[in-house]
Structure 1
């Protein structure tokens, strides 16, 4: 059924108190995220009644309206309605939010537009590895090189994509932001490192420059463009309109590119490596505990809308090491939700509840989107939510015990199983066993905790 997103946008806008009650707005992969000036003016019940709204969450300093994967279509209609009213609204993090909330909001806004590209490339990478192992494609051939290029370019040029996305998020020119990050990948600049690699030294007008490899990095691009956004806004305000076409980009480049190469970039690289090192160090000390915490707790992070903060760590691990231990545990969570939904489907008599549970299970299998099932059924029933957490923790513990990895950053669904294909053939087998454990444990508990007379609330 084709939904009238114009009507949905108008309904949500009216229910949250109108455009004058919105100080900031953005969206992630599944949610419309709003900063409200006065929460008391928002009719939460009315928002939930709007066609197309799955649920609402007020968390991390934001009023989040769960829509699903079609949220960009809603936002396309919603943004003009708000801005067209003349209301002063920001599409970046609100200054009224706490620092933690603003960081989570910024990460969500930067990464959300890039997720389809990374997920699609990750699937292609997994299929290519599988094709090589089956002898269908030989490494070093033209076919392999072309397929490898199209599956890995999104990670190599990730700083450029993040630069563009960060520019839009922080209020700077996305094109100049992308260009600043692209300078870090220029072959001649990379060539200055020679065979020394990260830490090699050069100079800029006599100033020492620590050379780093910026391809596939995450944190440097975000920090660089966040800093640049302040310079851009200053220049945009003070440079005359007649000179902006030339002066603004020229000054932006001459200041930001050397500053990035001299200071911001190396700090960002070391910061990213440091964060990844700490997380991976903890995983190395206890894979099982890490699997339990991520597998069981991922849905809690999703329910609060702050799971995006972990994604850069997984992306950094994939880009730097070619594999990641955290991502498999998120699969355990998703398959626990699937199992729990199937348990409800088998036990409940109410046709609406059975239909909702099965639809949710199929949706996760195909798209890895757990929010509709999470908010529509599990969060409302503490026993079912607990069943899913236990199932995810059990599956995560198994995956951690056998050190299962993914070779691409993807979301947990049946369609993303190729991400488990690696040089170790048992990695895929252990991954499948982990998924089964998550689904079966959560399914059995979901069946036990469901009353035959339960209805879809």
Structure 2
């Protein structure tokens, strides 16, 4: 695939580089904020080789590309910033993009680069637990310790990793930002807490400081780097060029680390816990209803590209509590999509449609990427979309009833099933039952809704 040519063709059909107000990407989509969406020719963009679909929702012009989207993004970014639009970042700080759209864009840009690390670590963690339960690895062995550290490091060092990706999103120095995150989990800082835990106090030049353990946290560092981006841009404009090397990092660290531990950090910890606890409270009080809503509605969020707003809650639950209730519901959605492909494959006679359905099944089973099937098959056929929603809701209801949890943040596929392995072996069994319900219900409905002469639109 020639991604440079692809990027050039996309620019030509969306009004040129000067029409691009902002850009980012997630795991499968190129996400653009256009100054004037009327200049974009949707059909022409869809016709470009490599573009699976176009969605203009939530204030973003989204191009579904697939897992190779980072390669396209690099070429696209070079073209946009290499034209007369070279002051792209500075020009668009006051973009007319809505607040909601900015939040979704920011969450997507911050977490997308970390998804491979989170998914890989999650699968490794599940496999390690499984090996322990089967007696293949002893928890007292060096092998276990090494693999445990390997699988959990991404969560422990989240403040550093998120600081880096947040800085790239907000326009601050990624390396100074990483240092701010590292300061929050330095052993000497953590030692100040002692045995008191969160809420212990110390002082900074006479000012009281409420201490928190920031390893594995999500919200505090994102808020901190967002605030730091304004300081960094101010210093970058005011400090003479020959003094920037020393003055900017000195002032940045001297201001931001104390500001974070005194004000931003505690607010971030408590606000993050409040949101996560609220979601978990709802699930524990009405697991069935939550399962129906999330299991059935997750594909709708994915189709709109706004499912990223929920991912931080799941990551926060895993990193803080070691488990999460929402991840299983997203599995129910994915397995329901797989079920619809089974129903279509078994009923339809058209070889092209059957081939597309089988490709979709294999793709989801191995990679958990549902967008191609979602846009290429379900969105175009409302009955099949309904079959998937009902299947996801049915499986989600069962998972919620049985209070199934995931022990890792992963995306729903066959190879990520070890995420349900834990100290309670019944959790894995109930997860499999719930996912089979999703798949079977959607498969039966899809088979019923599909005509034998159905064709791929």
Corresponding residue for 1:145? 145
Q: CA deviation at 1:93?
A: 7.7
Q: How many Å separate the matches in 2 of 1:342 and 1:42?
A: 36
> Residue by residue, what CA displacement relative to the aligned partner does 1:394-439 show, whole Å, maximum 9, x if unpaired?
0001111111111000000001011010101111111111111101
Q: How many Å separate the matches in 2 of 1:444 and 1:432?
A: 18
Given that residues 167 and 177 in structure 1 are in contact (C-alpha distance below 8 angstroms), is that contact kept between their aligned partners in structure 2? yes
Deviating above 3 A after TM superposition, structure 1's stretches of 4 or more consecutive aligned residues are 90-94
Q: CA deviation at 1:77?
A: 1.1
Q: How many Å separate the matches in 1 of 2:148 and 2:113?
A: 23
Corresponding residue for 2:63? 65
Q: How many Å separate the matches in 1 of 2:180 and 2:140?
A: 33
Corresponding residue for 2:154? 154
Corresponding residue for 1:86? 84
**Which segment is superposed worse, 201-210 or 76-85?**
76-85
Q: How many Å separate the matches in 2 of 1:237 and 1:348?
A: 63
> Residue by residue, what CA displacement relative to the aligned partner does 1:36-58 show, whole Å, maximum 9, x if unpaired?
11111100000000011110110
Corresponding residue for 1:422? 422
Given that residues 323 and 405 in structure 2 are in contact (C-alpha distance below 8 angstroms), is that contact kept between their aligned partners in structure 1? yes
Q: How many Å separate the matches in 2 of 1:104 and 1:150?
A: 30
Q: CA deviation at 1:61?
A: 0.5
* TM-aligned CA distance change 1:334 to 1:94, over 3 Å: farther
Corresponding residue for 2:43? 45
Are residues 1:24 and 2:16 paired?
no
> Residue by residue, what CA displacement relative to the aligned partner does 1:45-86 show, whole Å, maximum 9, x if unpaired?
000000111101101111000001110011111111111112
> Residue by residue, what CA displacement relative to the aligned partner does 1:147-175 show, whole Å, maximum 9, x if unpaired?
00000000000010000000000000111
Q: How many Å separate the matches in 2 of 1:312 and 1:225?
A: 16
> Residue by residue, what CA displacement relative to the aligned partner does 1:120-142 show, whole Å, maximum 9, x if unpaired?
00000000100110111111321
Alignment of 1:7-406 (within 5 A): 7-87=5-85, 88-90=87-89, 95-406=95-406
Match of 1:32, SS state, is strand
RMSD: 1.1
Match of 1:90, SS state, is helix
Q: How many Å separate the matches in 2 of 1:24 and 1:201?
A: 42
Q: CA deviation at 1:90?
A: 3.5
- Tell me the TM-score normalised to structure 1 length: 0.98
> Residue by residue, what CA displacement relative to the aligned partner does 1:4-34 show, whole Å, maximum 9, x if unpaired?
2122111111111111111111111110001
Given that residues 284 and 403 in structure 2 are in contact (C-alpha distance below 8 angstroms), is that contact kept between their aligned partners in structure 1? no
Q: CA deviation at 1:304?
A: 0.5
Q: How many Å separate the matches in 2 of 1:300 and 1:94?
A: 30
Given that residues 61 and 101 in structure 1 are in contact (C-alpha distance below 8 angstroms), is that contact kept between their aligned partners in structure 2? yes
Corresponding residue for 2:448? 448
Gaps of 5+ in 2: none
* TM-aligned CA distance change 1:373 to 1:93, over 3 Å: farther
Match of 2:202, SS state, is strand
Q: How many Å separate the matches in 1 of 2:393 and 2:95?
A: 37
Q: How many Å separate the matches in 2 of 1:93 and 1:338?
A: 41
